[in-house]
Structure 1
């Protein structure tokens, strides 16, 4: 079984996918904002980040943010979909359409990245986040944490994460739509499952490797069929509790 898995993962499409994930994380490592630089920004204020050309309130700044969010989304979300991609790759005549499936999946997250970039620009202009995307508002941080925690208990979250945990029935239901549209559907399901955890980047720090690593691990585990069901509700309670502590100023 292990030898078969290794042979499957050594095919060109899988090597390209793994290369894309590794390149994404390598780029994020280079672009990540160290904690000491965040501390300096608190000392020197907005001029510190303006000098580094992090965020500007114009189309160029929005485009840079979109690229940053797109890179972050791809690096974080592709690993969470690997079981679904492997299931698709095992289906008959699927291999030649593998790239179309992954492309459709990424297209959804590119759209999410555009919305997230615009949201970060708006929050920055209202003084709710700094130029690194880190929340400056206790109320905003608490609202995001409590909102993400509450979302863990919703019917939409349950419906989306259930499909992520059972990709074979999902593909069978939509097989006639073709790989691109199935990729779009898979991306939409994944978005419905994970968007609330992704926006916690405004609390944990946009481009913070610690946040990205922890969030990716949680989203990967939550999509596992046996373990994930035991994680969703405790994670929700934990996020709500963290939000309450932030709101209380603790």
Structure 2
């Protein structure tokens, strides 16, 4: 009976811990964005600095949506597992999950850098490229691959039962990386949208974080994902004639040549 009570107590504690980490990441992200307007490129950061910022952003945006997975993972562990061990194992899963997103940050850096170069060297073409990227992200929202990854994120119990038997010190990190890979597959299009509208665009960050959470946890999440895709395509139609809609691929007036 005591072990059952311990298991039930650890799950709310893990949720509280994840929310606290996400809140701290938001605070640090907002502080990093202080005095910076959303704009093209990597915001003046080199690869290392960009990856630090990207890690904070992903922790802020994605950790709330991973709470159900952590809860399920804790339930797959043996009843003999102590509370502290459970906390350590769930931490390993979250670390692995964020590592998957940090790996994607390498590609994000390249896209952001290329966007800055395009905005500076071909300002007339940049809005059209942005429109294509936004429309592509919208179409991906309706693709079979998106649906497959989203189904995994919405109902990962089979995956957790299969890979929860990993052994070794890094078993939980491996599970987290594997799940994070599916999450990247599900949400990479939305992260491209974030780059197009400006890496440090806090309003879009908050909106996309809410969208990811709804996709993964709401019972109408799949339908919401499709509606979001249509909205992105419609948004893309306005971009070529309104470059200000995509700060990540347009130079501010005071910086344009």
Shorter-chain TM-score range: 0.7 to 0.9
Contact 1:33 1:208 in 2 (8 A): no
115-124 or 100-109, which moves further after superposition? 115-124
Matches within 5 A, 1:62-81: 62-81=47-66
Superposition deviation, residue 92 in structure 1? 2.6
**TM-score of the aligned structures, taking structure 1 as reference length:** 0.79
The RMSD of aligned alpha carbons is: 3.1
Cα distance change on mapping 1:173 and 1:6 into 2, 3 Å? closer
Tell me, which stretches of 5 or more residues in structure 1 are unaligned? 130-135
Contact 1:165 1:223 in 2 (8 A): yes
User: Among 124, 145, 152, which residue is 1:163 paired with?
Assistant: 152
Cα distance change on mapping 1:246 and 1:33 into 2, 3 Å? farther
Are residues 1:216 and 2:216 paired?
A: no
Contact 2:95 2:176 in 1 (8 A): yes
Q: Distance in 2 between matches of 1:206 and 1:219?
A: 17
Cα distance change on mapping 1:205 and 1:169 into 2, 3 Å? same
After superposition, give the CA deviation of every residue in 1:36-77 in whole Å (9 maximum; x if it has no partner).
Answer: x539x8xxxx9xx9xxx9516xxxx22212211121112111
Cα distance change on mapping 1:63 and 1:186 into 2, 3 Å? same
Q: Distance in 1 between matches of 2:232 and 2:7?
A: 36
Matches within 5 A, 1:168-183: 168-177=157-166, 178-183=171-176
Q: Distance in 2 between matches of 1:206 and 1:117?
A: 10
Q: How many positions carry a matched residue from both structures?
A: 226
Are residues 1:245 and 2:230 paired?
A: no
Superposition deviation, residue 166 in structure 1? 0.4
* Structure 2 counterpart SS, 1:176: coil
Matches within 5 A, 1:1-250: 7-9=9-11, 11=13, 13-33=14-34, 38=37, 54-55=43-44, 61-93=46-78, 95=86, 96-127=88-119, 137-177=126-166, 178-224=171-217, 226-247=219-240, 249=242
Contact 1:222 1:231 in 2 (8 A): yes
* Structure 2 counterpart SS, 1:156: helix
* Structure 2 counterpart SS, 1:200: helix
Superposition deviation, residue 191 in structure 1? 0.4
Superposition deviation, residue 162 in structure 1? 0.1
